[in-house]
Amino acid sequence: MGTVTKQAPVAVVAIGGNSLITDNKNPGVPHQWDAVRETASYVAEMVAEGWSVVITHGNGPQVGFILRRNELASPEVHPTPLDLIVADTQGSIGFMLQQALSNEFHRRAIERQCITLVTQVLVDADDPAFASPNKPIGGFMDEASARNFEKDGWQVVEDAGRGWRRVVASPEPYAIVEEKAIEQAVQLGWIVVAVGGGGIPVVRNSKGELRSVYAVIDKDRASSLLASRIDADLFLISTGVEQVALHFGKPNQTLLHRMTEAEAERYMAEGHFAPGSMKPKIEACIRYLRQSTKPHAAAIITNPANLGRALRGETGTRIVRNGE
């Protein structure tokens, strides 16, 4: 595997945790493998066309499964803390992507390999998010069960009439501890899986030592930060829809093929993008564009099956700087 030339364009591809579970009625590992292999085939197509790729991924459903295992196993074994749960999912999902991509590269006779880097992301210990936890994790439950979790130090909230859930803080990421290692690995030709689940949130104590904090980081925010910090040419968010839409799900729904930062901000102000789904993705794309030094940086939102077509400009939603 030779070193990638400096001319090779770099893309950060953010894959949603829910895209690894395409059928909520069949969330088991064999079905997750099917989804990962399908996604890997689309990423391999990008690599075949000359892209260097860094893959990030969500882990929401997988974290929920591990939390539930904690509950069921509590009479027998110690619980797994949240930082180790995120690390566990970085390893397991990264392994699945590594193997699936290695097989795709073998099938296509592409001389590339994939590695996973367990990634820590720095947050501010004084971030206001710690005073107002609002990121739901784990499954839904009734109020009585939720109140029992309060006894163990959890905060719980009622979630949009669907039941009660635990919540943790979601602070802003401001630095990626393993940033240089990721950047150097890309330069050496590796396909890298990093910042899984938004990264393991850490702070530095008074001695300058890294210490985990009880929180989760938004995957799209962390991916956007990574894309700008390693100076990626493209930030691509792979999600559940082919294109971003105005008036989503309504009779007057309008698909967006292209928009500028200013247009994206205006649409957000008008309430077109839901806070729990599309809005954080649009915000992450805008952040990347503002922080990137690349003159023609772009962001794309589409679904896994259309990565190739979106790169060719045939579908997806491309977000560009004002004036482009």
Domain positions in the chain? 10-123+172-320, 133-168
Model pLDDT for residues 56-112, shown as the tens digit of each residue? 999 988 998 999 898 899 889 998 999 999 999 999 999 999 999 999 999 999 999
- Label residue 149 by pLDDT band (50, 70, 90): confident
Catalytic residue among 60, 135, 198, 308: 135
What local confidence, expressed as pLDDT, does residue 109 receive?
97
- Label residue 2 by pLDDT band (50, 70, 90): very low
- Flag the least confident range among 64-68, 129-133, 148-152, 185-189: 148-152
Can you tell me the distance from the alpha carbon of 99 to that of 105, in angstroms, rounded to the nearest whole number? Answer: 10
Identify the residue with better confidence: 207 or 275.
207
CA distances from 217 to 35, 60, 160, 171, 179 (A): 24, 11, 22, 6, 16
Among 301, 252, 296, residue whose Cα is nearest residue 280: 301
- Over residues 29-39, mean pLDDT: 91
Helix (H, G, I), strand (E, B) or coil at 320: strand
| Residue tagged 């292209």 (tokens) | 258
Helical packing angle, 219-229 and 278-291, nearest 10°: 20
Model pLDDT for residues 163-212, shown as the tens digit of each residue? 899 899 999 999 999 999 999 999 999 999 999 999 999 999 999 999 99
17 is catalytic: yes
**CATH annotation of 10-123+172-320:** 3.40.1160.10
Catalytic residue among 60, 198, 199, 281: 281
25 is catalytic: no
205 is catalytic: no
- Label residue 3 by pLDDT band (50, 70, 90): very low
50 is catalytic: no
308 is catalytic: no
> Cα dihedral angle (279, 285, 291, 296), rounded to 10 degrees?
-150
What local confidence, expressed as pLDDT, does residue 292 receive?
93
Count of other CB atoms within 10 angstroms of residue 295: 7
- Label residue 5 by pLDDT band (50, 70, 90): very low
Catalytic residue among 94, 199, 219, 306: 219
Question: Token pair of 49, please?
Answer: 């066309």
What local confidence, expressed as pLDDT, does residue 108 receive?
97
| Residue tagged 């130090």 (tokens) | 153
For residue 84, give every residue at least 6 positions away whose Cβ sits within 8 Å of its Cβ, in sequence order, or none.
none
Residue 270 has pLDDT above 80, yes or no: yes
Catalytic residue among 17, 60, 197, 316: 17
